[in-house]
């Protein structure tokens, strides 16, 4: 039996890993530090703490209590930051609602999570009005008019700022078990209903402590004292990767952009001096296009990129505009950060730097990662052998809510299954080669759609690219490229295949890798979180008559 | 009731905050990274992990089991690092023995901690031989010959390297409760027996995660990827401030210097390229003197200083030799890190930089700090009001072993009492003004001995200084300065009082602050961990006939 403390002092404080404690050090050392919301609000950490107390008082007045789910539908704002703290600190569960889902899906997630109180921005009043009749468990709706002089809807119990203004800031938060659930949200699966994941106070605090300064990027990309932070990953999406919590822990200046509009984002960055953000490649592309349009220099802006792979072409585009871009890896089930690319100070060569910055990353502390075959046998870390990436860390979701079969599959063999196909280099660098289900199986070989996409992205005239496998009677599947292009004459099949041909000549790809067809689309089909919807693409491209497969095979 | 996970997957891994998990990420990403011990041993992280398994096998062969205390008497070495992991990972308790204590005190701590197995370096064979008869609980002694061809003493069950060479590296470590006690050691109080503190796996892991990149120093003083680490705080002393654990977590190159010899330290620094160390001011002074003697440039060497205050004079001396010195604050009871000085990138002026680097520091994440009066009333953070510093953090010892009265006093009112008198600036900077018991009470006013020491340290010819209060019939106490000096003609009372006189003229000190007497000593009396022993000084200086008190008061 391992020994435990036999006689702790009666009054010794047992410090729980609770979200409220993330504020302790910052309130001491950064009480006057600013938090900015667009043009509408400037507060500081001292005021933030008061407003957290006031929000808890308001919610309690609306009937909130420990164990209850309180849902938020808002854009990125100081209000969301307040909810990130106040709701879990009350012992309630914060549900961050994905406002990009269809109304019926939003209703499903609210109902499934048993939300009883709803905070809702005026932009979503119509949706809420439509779904509220189907949600009898909702006891109260707190409306957010966001500075506009609009009438409150009939279903609202009050307005956010108006109620906070007169609420008691001295709400008596109490300590409770660090394993209490703090947050929940729903992942947008490509099949069936969205799946609910949830995270405890302990899990979020441990992720925050481990992700706050991932080794490897301390010299070039970590968030630290002196930085100015603005999220560009929606706060409903995996807690904006927990970075608002990290920024608050560090006591840095924070800037919240509201609804993402490229013009506002660029103005806020310049006016407030933003140095650190994070987003998916789609948002990065939007920001870069807007900056290119105005010729804006983005020097001094470091950005973590996740959600899907950062291509070399996009990385280069960002660098040309002065940005430092760093890849990260994670998923909804992992809260999300698991790995971050490591920039060694020693790397001088630009291509080598880009290569280092666009890999999926090196595990952050307390992450244990393996690649395994279908029988959970561990595979070598040789940078070549591909297997499913499986993980252990203190902050992985232990289940999908109300879906025991999916939960058991997620944790088969005591490791969390990412369903991502990866290699691990001898130096620990994890490179995601593909989603297991997005791998293209052709002629008895597996082709990584990500590798092909990275090559095609470098072709002149290609704005975006997705490569999917469509059924083929002879080869099983064949790769088809879908692109968008702003060029007057979009690249043809030969141009698209040129870099793939070179890679085949260099022995890096099999000769099965040439794409059979290129489709130029007006826009990519997307999931609710802005990722390219490959399931929809496979359906779309599979329905069209395939041309004959490439000759010579 | 706060909600808990209702239905975690049956196979979901419940990740304990256990010391063994600190190795996970490093084994993935730094398996080939070096660990160096003087000229005697070079291994890498993969080998370290094997040797940790082998050591656990050896200890099990000697009778070690969960819950047992295993004590180590060694200099800083790869062996100590192996013990830091293997012993707690087995569920046993690592006792780090302060080898600077008197033999009777060492025997007391081993007996009090109920140590049953002892690892002992050949330098301590005579001590162990002498005290072993009084320690019937010791079941086995593992001898460390450290490369010398010496005969094993009769009490040794075997030799460290010889037994490890053939032991099974595949020891089956199992997970256990993160609240299990991992380490214990004894603080060297100035009265009575040494007091035992202990720390759980959870506490050490949380300190490691929070101290690994204290905000504020990320730009100038943090330990990170690419650094090369060498401890200069003994590994028996508060786990060398937990930095060997941090270095291992980060996967950086580590260099262990054995017994501290200035020449060896400077050679290792140069040969291995050491960039990061930590020590008490006494060791820093020793290193700087050796470097001055040889004219060695120490550029690129960053050093955290703790244990006692870093004076401006010593900080300047280090800077002149190219070093970056950063103050930190902590104590045995706090495992130890609580605060680290914050260097803002914006500070250009040298004096301002030195001022920022020599303060006690800003609380690291998850530390909650207050200054209070004797009735536990919180005092303002105005940089002027002095009060006792009290703390909460997840890694503070909950008790002194077997001393419930001292434990209750430590945690009076639910906060850990540091017995340090401090101010807190509005920006959160904690400055330790004095030990409560070292404050000089004169003419109804309190004088900080640290403030006086800092002023006197700047006087030409002063090597070291300590100011203590000695009883005075008229004033209660009067300040006396004890100095060491290498000057042919040591400074006299007038020279010593010159900077104090200036400070009085600037209104920074009361006129009671002038020291009454200066005593030039050959060497300062020191405690076992190298701090100046003020209790001994007070006795020494109090015994001598005081000169008449300064006129004019």
Instruction: Encode pLDDT of A207-216 as tens digits.
Output: 988 877 653 3
Predicted confidence (pLDDT) at residue B137 exceeds the cutoff of 70: yes
Q: Is the dihedral of CA A81, A86, A88, A93 positive or negative?
A: negative
Cβ separation B181–A249 shorter than 8 A: no
The percentage of residues in chain A with a pLDDT greater than 90, rounded to a whole number, is 70
Establish if A405 touches chain B: CB-CB under 8 angstroms: no
The nearest CA of chain A is from the CA of B552 a distance in Å of: 43
Last residue of a domain, one of A366, A392, A419: A366
The larger pLDDT score, comparing residue B187 to residue A297, is at: A297
On whether both A138 and A199 belong to a single domain, the answer is: yes
Establish if B399 touches chain A: CB-CB under 8 angstroms: yes
pLDDT of residue A163: 98
Closest CB from B218, B251, B411 relative to A225: B218
Predicted confidence (pLDDT) at residue B551 exceeds the cutoff of 70: no
Tokens standing for residue A510: 């099999």
Q: How confident is the model at residue A442 (pLDDT cuts 50, 70, 90)?
A: confident
Q: How confident is the model at residue B346 (pLDDT cuts 50, 70, 90)?
A: low
Q: Which of A510-514, B438-442, B461-465 has the highest mean pLDDT?
A: B461-465
Predicted confidence (pLDDT) at residue A47 exceeds the cutoff of 50: yes
pLDDT of residue B359: 86
Predicted confidence (pLDDT) at residue A146 exceeds the cutoff of 70: yes
The Cα–Cα gap between A35 and B446 comes to 41
Predicted confidence (pLDDT) at residue B188 exceeds the cutoff of 80: no
Q: From A174, which residue of chain B is nearest by alpha-carbon distance? A: B2
Q: Which residues of B touch A218 (CB under 8 A)?
A: 213, 218, 222, 224-225
The Cα–Cα gap between A340 and A303 comes to 12
Establish if A488 touches chain B: CB-CB under 8 angstroms: no
On whether both A133 and A91 belong to a single domain, the answer is: yes
Establish if B7 touches chain A: CB-CB under 8 angstroms: yes
Closest CB from A66, A209, A416 relative to B1: A66
The Cα–Cα gap between B69 and B88 comes to 10
Establish if A25 touches chain B: CB-CB under 8 angstroms: yes
On whether both A77 and A131 belong to a single domain, the answer is: yes
Find the range with the poorest average confidence among A291-295, B66-70, B184-188. B184-188
pLDDT of residue B189: 60
Tell me if A22 is assigned to some domain: yes
The Cα–Cα gap between A265 and A277 comes to 11
Cβ separation B5–A198 shorter than 8 A: yes
On whether both A75 and A163 belong to a single domain, the answer is: yes
Within the 92-121 window of chain B, which residues sit less than 8 Å (CB to CB) from chain A? 93
List for chain B the helix, strand, coil content (%; round to 5): 35, 25, 40
pLDDT of residue A547: 46
Tell me if B484 is assigned to some domain: yes
Establish if A300 touches chain B: CB-CB under 8 angstroms: no
The Cα–Cα gap between B341 and B425 comes to 13
Last residue of a domain, one of B201, B233, B258: B201
**Domain containing residue A493: CATH number:** 3.30.300.30
Tell me if B391 is assigned to some domain: no
Q: How confident is the model at residue A159 (pLDDT cuts 50, 70, 90)?
A: very high
Q: How confident is the model at residue B222 (pLDDT cuts 50, 70, 90)?
A: confident
pLDDT of residue A58: 98
On whether both A284 and A192 belong to a single domain, the answer is: no
Tally of structural domains, chain B: 2
Tell me if A376 is assigned to some domain: no
Q: Which of A194-203, B44-53, B402-411, B446-455 has the highest mean pLDDT?
A: B44-53
The nearest CA of chain B is from the CA of A495 a distance in Å of: 39
Last residue of a domain, one of A341, A366, A391: A366
Establish if A297 touches chain B: CB-CB under 8 angstroms: no
pLDDT tens, residue by residue, A256-300? 999 999 999 999 999 999 999 999 998 999 999 999 999 999 999
Tell me if B326 is assigned to some domain: no
pLDDT of residue A169: 97
On whether both A244 and A152 belong to a single domain, the answer is: no
Q: Which residues of B touch A428 (CB under 8 A)?
A: 25, 28-31
**Domain containing residue A256: CATH number:** 3.40.50.980
Find the range with the poorest average confidence among A62-66, A179-183, A303-307, A540-544. A540-544
Find the range with the poorest average confidence among A497-501, A533-537, B316-320. A533-537
Active-site choice (A139, A316, A441, A535)? A441
Q: Which of A111-120, B331-340, B428-437 has the highest mean pLDDT?
A: A111-120
The Cα–Cα gap between B257 and B274 comes to 11
Predicted confidence (pLDDT) at residue A243 exceeds the cutoff of 60: yes
On whether both A134 and A200 belong to a single domain, the answer is: yes
Predicted confidence (pLDDT) at residue B73 exceeds the cutoff of 60: yes
Tell me if B348 is assigned to some domain: no
On whether both A197 and A223 belong to a single domain, the answer is: no
Predicted confidence (pLDDT) at residue B148 exceeds the cutoff of 80: yes
Establish if A125 touches chain B: CB-CB under 8 angstroms: no
Predicted confidence (pLDDT) at residue B190 exceeds the cutoff of 70: no
Supply the mean pLDDT for chain A. Answer: 90
Q: Which residues of A touch B369 (CB under 8 A)?
A: 28
On whether both A64 and A191 belong to a single domain, the answer is: yes
pLDDT of residue B345: 61
Q: From B21, which residue of chain A is nearest by alpha-carbon distance? A: A366
The nearest CA of chain B is from the CA of A412 a distance in Å of: 6
Q: Which of A48-57, A449-458, B275-284, B374-383 has the highest mean pLDDT?
A: A48-57
Q: Is the preceding omega at residue A336 within 30 degrees of 0, hence cis?
A: yes
On whether both A109 and A240 belong to a single domain, the answer is: no
Q: Which residues of B touch A22 (CB under 8 A)?
A: 365-366
Q: Tokens 């010579």 appear where?
A: A552
Which of B9, B178, B182, B195 should be substituted to probe chain A, the one whose Cβ sees the most A Cβ atoms within 10 Å? B9
Which of A1, A8, A12 should be substituted to probe chain B, the one whose Cβ sees the most B Cβ atoms within 10 Å? A12
Chain A, chain B: beta-carbon pairs less than 8 Å apart: 264
Q: Whole-prediction pTM value?
A: 0.87
Q: Which residues of A touch B219 (CB under 8 A)?
A: 224-226
Predicted confidence (pLDDT) at residue A553 exceeds the cutoff of 50: no
On whether both A218 and A200 belong to a single domain, the answer is: no
pLDDT of residue B552: 34
Predicted confidence (pLDDT) at residue B217 exceeds the cutoff of 70: no
pLDDT of residue B506: 86
Establish if B196 touches chain A: CB-CB under 8 angstroms: no
Q: Which residues of A touch B300 (CB under 8 A)?
A: none
Tell me if B281 is assigned to some domain: no
Q: DSSP letters of B410-460? A: HTGGGSEEEEEEEEE-TT--EEEEEEGGG-EEETTEEE-HHHHHHHHTTST
pLDDT tens, residue by residue, A51-91? 999 999 999 999 999 999 999 999 999 999 999 999 999 99
Q: Report yes or no: A119 and A81 within 8 Å, Cβ to Cβ.
A: no
pLDDT of residue A385: 93
Q: How confident is the model at residue B550 (pLDDT cuts 50, 70, 90)?
A: very low
Establish if B212 touches chain A: CB-CB under 8 angstroms: yes
> If residue B210 lies in a helix (H) or strand (E), which one and from where to where?
helix B201-211
Q: From B11, which residue of chain A is nearest by alpha-carbon distance? A: A414
pLDDT tens, residue by residue, A173-197? 999 899 999 999 998 765 568 899 9
Tokens standing for residue B337: 């890190």
Within the 327-366 window of chain B, which residues sit less than 8 Å (CB to CB) from chain A? 342, 344-346, 362-366
Over residues B206-213, mean pLDDT: 82
Closest CB from A25, A180, A399 relative to B367: A25
Cβ separation B218–A198 shorter than 8 A: no
pLDDT tens, residue by residue, A116-127? 999 999 999 999
Active site residue A418: no
- How far lies A57's CA from each of A47, A53, A63, A139, A165, in Å? 15, 6, 10, 16, 11
Q: How confident is the model at residue B447 (pLDDT cuts 50, 70, 90)?
A: confident
The Cα–Cα gap between B244 and B78 comes to 10
**Domain containing residue A35: CATH number:** 3.40.50.12780
Q: Which residues of B touch A13 (CB under 8 A)?
A: 392, 396, 411, 414-416
Residue B491, domain extent: 439-543
Predicted confidence (pLDDT) at residue A414 exceeds the cutoff of 90: yes
On whether both A532 and A443 belong to a single domain, the answer is: yes
pLDDT of residue B221: 59
The Cα–Cα gap between B29 and A427 comes to 5
Cβ separation B365–A206 shorter than 8 A: no
Q: Which residues of B touch A24 (CB under 8 A)?
A: 363, 366-368, 392
The Cα–Cα gap between B12 and A416 comes to 7
The Cα–Cα gap between B171 and B50 comes to 9
Tell me if B57 is assigned to some domain: yes
Supply the mean pLDDT for chain B. Answer: 90
First to last CA, chain A: 65
The Cα–Cα gap between B77 and B503 comes to 46
The larger pLDDT score, comparing residue A4 to residue A126, is at: A126
Active site residue A397: no
Closest CB from B366, B399, B413 relative to A21: B366
Instruction: Tell me which DSSP letter residue A396 carries.
Output: S
Closest CB from B4, B180, B407 relative to A7: B407
Tokens standing for residue A331: 């998923």
Establish if A215 touches chain B: CB-CB under 8 angstroms: yes
The residues facing B158 across adjacent strands are B142
Cβ separation A12–B407 shorter than 8 A: yes
Q: How confident is the model at residue B349 (pLDDT cuts 50, 70, 90)?
A: confident
Q: Which residues of B touch A249 (CB under 8 A)?
A: 365
Which of A2, A68, A184, A397 should be substituted to probe chain B, the one whose Cβ sees the most B Cβ atoms within 10 Å? A2
């Amino acid at each position: 039996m391992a020994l435990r403390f036999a006689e702790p002092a009666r009054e010794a404080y047992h410090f729980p890993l609770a979200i409220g404690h993330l504020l302790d050090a910052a309130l001491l050392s950064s009480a006057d530090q600013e938090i900015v919301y667009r043009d509408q609000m400037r507060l500081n950490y001292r005021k933030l703490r008061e407003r957290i107390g006031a929000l808890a008082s308001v919610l309690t007045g609306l009937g909130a209590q420990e164990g209850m789910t309180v849902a938020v539908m808002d854009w990125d704002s100081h209000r969301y930051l307040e909810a990130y703290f106040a709701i879990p600190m009350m012992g309630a569960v914060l549900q961050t609602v994905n406002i990009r889902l269809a109304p019926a899906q939003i209703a499903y997630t609210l109902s499934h999570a048993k939300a009883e109180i709803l905070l809702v921005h005026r932009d979503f009043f119509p949706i809420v009005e439509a779904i509220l009749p189907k949600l009898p468990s909702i006891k109260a709706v707190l409306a957010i008019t966001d500075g506009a002089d609009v009438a409150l809807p009939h279903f609202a119990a009050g307005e956010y700022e108006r109620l906070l203004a007169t609420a008691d800031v001295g709400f008596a938060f109490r300590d409770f078990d660090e394993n209490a659930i703090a947050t929940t949200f729903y992942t947008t699966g490509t099949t069936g209903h969205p799946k609910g994941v949830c995270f405890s106070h302990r899990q979020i605090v441990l992720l925050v402590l481990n992700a706050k300064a991932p080794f490897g990027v301390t010299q070039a990309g970590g968030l630290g004292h002196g930085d100015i932070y603005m999220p560009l990953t929606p706060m409903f999406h995996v807690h904006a990767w927990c970075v608002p919590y990290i920024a608050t822990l560090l006591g840095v200046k924070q800037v919240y952009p509201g609804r993402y509009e490229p013009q506002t984002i660029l103005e806020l960055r310049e006016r407030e001096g933003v140095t650190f953000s994070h987003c998916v490649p789609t948002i990065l592309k939007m920001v870069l296009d807007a900056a290119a349009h105005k010729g804006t220099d983005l020097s001094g802006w470091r950005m973590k990129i996740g959600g899907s792979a950062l291509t070399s072409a996009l990385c280069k585009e960002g660098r040309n505009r002065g940005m430092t871009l760093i890849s990260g890896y994670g998923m909804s089930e992992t809260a999300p950060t698991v790995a971050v690319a490591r920039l060694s100070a020693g790397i001088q060569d630009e291509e080598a730097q880009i290569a280092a910055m666009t890999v999926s990353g090196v595990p952050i502390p307390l992450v244990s990662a393996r690649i395994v075959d279908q029988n959970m046998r561990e595979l070598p870390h040789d940078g070549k052998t591909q297997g499913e990436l499986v993980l252990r860390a203190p902050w992985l979701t232990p289940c999908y809510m109300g879906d025991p079969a999916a939960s058991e599959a997620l944790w088969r063999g005591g490791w969390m299954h990412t369903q991502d196909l990866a290699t691990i280099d001898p130096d620990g660098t994890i490179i995601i080669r593909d989603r297991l289900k997005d791998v293209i199986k052709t002629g008895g070989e597996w082709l990584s759609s990500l590798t092909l996409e990275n090559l095609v992205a470098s072709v002149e005239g290609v704005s975006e690219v997705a490569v999917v496998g469509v059924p083929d009677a002879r080869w099983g599947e064949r790769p088809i490229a879908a692109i968008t292009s702003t060029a007057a004459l979009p690249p043809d099949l030969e141009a698209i295949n040129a870099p793939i041909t070179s890679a085949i000549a260099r022995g890096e790809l099999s000769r099965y890798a040439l794409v059979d067809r290129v489709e130029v689309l007006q826009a990519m089909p997307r999931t609710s979180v802005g990722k390219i919807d490959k399931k929809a693409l496979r359906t779309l491209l599979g329905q069209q008559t395939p041309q004959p497969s490439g000759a010579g095979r």
